[in-house]
Amino acid sequence: MLTQKMQSEYNKQINAEFYSAYLYLSMSSYLSENNLNGFANWMNIQYQEEMFHAMKFYQYVIERGGKVVLDAIEKPQAEWKDIIDVFESTFEHEKHVTSLVHNLMSVAHEEKDYASVSFLQWFVDEQVEEEANVDELLQQLKLVEGKGSGLFMLDREAKARVFTPPVAQ
Q: Which chain residues interact with ligand FEO by CB under 6 A? A: 17, 20, 50, 53, 94, 97, 130
In angstroms, what is the minimal distance from the CB of 1 to ligand FEO? 25
Do the beta carbons of residue 90 and residue 6 sit within 8 Å? no
Q: Find the angle CA(60)-CA(115)-CA(7) to the nearest 5 degrees.
A: 50
Of residues 39 and 151, the one with the C-beta less far from ligand FEO: 39
In angstroms, what is the minimal distance from the CB of 119 to ligand FEO? 14
Of residues 126 and 155, the one with the C-beta less far from ligand FEO: 126
Residue 100: strand, helix, or coil: helix
Alpha carbon distance 75, 134 (integer Å): 22
Of residues 123 and 151, the one with the C-beta less far from ligand FEO: 123
Q: What is the DSSP letter of 168?
A: P
In angstroms, what is the minimal distance from the CB of 147 to ligand FEO? 27
Alpha carbon distance 131, 129 (integer Å): 6
In angstroms, what is the minimal distance from the CB of 20 to ligand FEO? 5
Do the beta carbons of residue 16 and residue 132 sit within 8 Å? no
Please identify the residue of the shown chain whose CB is closest to the bound ligand FEO: 53
